[in-house]
Chains A and B, each alone.
Chain A
Amino acid sequence: MIRAVIIALGFVAAWYALVAATGVPHYILPGPARVAVAFADNAGFIAENAAITFLEIVLGMFVGLLAGLSCALALAMSRLLRVWMLPLIVASQAIPVFAIAPLLVLWLGYGIASKIAAAALIIFFPVASAFYDGLARTNAGFLDLARTMGARKPLILLRLRFPTALPALASGVRVAAAIAPIGAVIGEWVGASAGLGFVMLQSNAQMRVDLVFAALIVLAAFALIFYAAIDRLMTALVPWDPKRIDR
């Protein structure tokens, strides 16, 4: 925590020094003081839009997780699905979300739905592939043991393969938490009437670079806090994860 504060202070100091030393005009790179003023003057406006972006991230995360989880489960359960769907899912990753974001806006409108879809799409693959890998890599010894015990197949999936896949799933969810904000902001950039991405785009067009920075800092802080919260949650959920035991 102390380290984080020192890093942040160091960053602000370097930023201040850079602006003071080069004398770069404020409409190219505003100093920390100017950004702070812009932030204070527009606190309500920024907060309003931040709340919308935050909602998009959380809902996008929820939808993407749900879709990724069910997809991985379906793939693990059915060989037919694996053979036909797995190549398709991998191939779908060749299309960047950035490229289809305008389509999402066309189909789902300027509102929050297209941003949730963008965030969900961007996290779908990391979640699905991490969880599927985890399910597929159940220790063969466990499966042997289960067979000698006369275990029922659905219960093997639920009580053996699912928990063994949890550490892998947790890694996928951590990645998702880191990139979900990107999805939401991409959605806002291609067409929105609210949100931090919208604030940045609009302020940029009006040469209000200080406001762009203010929104950017709020977004970065949000993303960090969101990631830290998810990381904590995953660690609490999977206490046997070797990552934690090694600490």
Chain B
Amino acid sequence: MRNPLSLHLRSARLVYDGVPLFENLDAEFAAGRFTCLLGPSGVGKSTLLRAFAGLAEVGPGAVSPELPRVAWMAQDDLLCPWLDALGNVTLGASLRGEKADLAKARDLLAQVGLADRAGAAPHELSGGQRQRVALARTLYEDQDVVLMDEPFAGLDAPTRWRLQELAATLLAGRTVLLVTHDPREALRLGHDIRVLAGRPVKLGPVLSPQGATPRALDDVSLLAMETKLIGEIADGAA
């Protein structure tokens, strides 16, 4: 059984070009829940995410726990062009010098709908398929904490829709933090939604829309919420 962790932010501080972007930012992202961090570009939401991955600094002791490993997924699929889909899924094992669990990798490729493409090179795959391989690679890492930085931003609408569905299903039970600037994505995927906006940048209250994820977004109350979120982001960006 999975024993997920909650993520904490204490007095986080980010200075950009000599100007403080945010200071004394505190937050908790709940264990085992899918949290979407929503905000306009340039508010430092990616930096917060990177801080949890150990890739950026937002002040001493600001992020806890300090994780030696996380499952990480970025907007760029970051597939190695010299490896086939299977090799990309097991990249982590190969970089740690471990023996790759090929059965597990094949099973994950099947779960993302690419069972018959295990031997395909990245340049033979479509953008959506490539991001599916990246999702399988993220799952192969099998970490309690999954950090995603606008993973579906570069995809067309139907492809994005299907991948959101896959992500919601396959990442259930883990502590997921997903950064996005798309309120619709946040409403579709987030158990909890936090808006990061304003000047100085502040983190809004936890918003927990009704219904199981992935939400179909055909509910009027969700549309009203989307309008409200867009307003908050727009005000924050001004």
Contact = CB atoms under 8 A, between A and B. Distances in A.
B48 to A, nearest CB: 15
Classify chain B: how many residues form its interface, as a range: 20 to 34
B89 to A, nearest CB: 12
A185 B80 CA distance: 41
A141 B70 CA distance: 15
A150 interface: yes
Interface string A106-146: 00000000000000000000000000000000010110111
Given A148-B53, A148-B70, A240 B123 contact: yes
Interface stretch (B93-101, B207-215, B225-233): B93-101
Contact of A159 (B78, B94, B141, B147): B94
A167 B81 CA distance: 11
Interface residues of A, number: 23
A163 to B, nearest CB: 5
A144 B54 CA distance: 9
A29 B95 CA distance: 62
A245 B72 CA distance: 28
B165 interface: no
B91 interface: yes
A224 B179 CA distance: 54
Interface string B79-97: 0111000000001101111
Interface string B95-112: 111000000000000000
A152 B95 contact: yes
A245 B92 CA distance: 27
B76 interface: yes
B68 interface: yes
B74 A145 contact: yes
A142 B83 CA distance: 14
Given A139-B78, A240-B82, A147 B68 contact: no
Given A148-B72, A150-B69, 20 more contacts: A139-B76, A141-B74, A145-B72, A145-B91, A146-B95, A148-B54, A148-B70, A149-B91, A149-B95, A149-B141, A150-B68, A150-B92, A150-B96, A152-B95, A152-B96, A160-B95, A163-B80, A163-B82, A239-B121, A240-B123
Interface of A: 139, 141-142, 144-152, 155-156, 159-160, 163-164, 166, 238-240, 245
Interface of B: 50, 53-55, 68-72, 74, 76, 78, 80-82, 91-92, 94-97, 121-123, 141, 147
Nearest first, the 8 A-B pairs at minimum CB distance are A151-B95, A240-B81, A148-B72, A149-B92, A150-B69, A163-B82, A148-B53, A141-B78
20 contacts: A142-B78, A144-B72, A145-B72, A145-B74, A145-B78, A145-B91, A147-B53, A148-B72, A149-B96, A150-B92, A152-B96, A155-B97, A156-B95, A159-B94, A159-B95, A160-B80, A160-B95, A163-B80, A239-B121, A245-B123
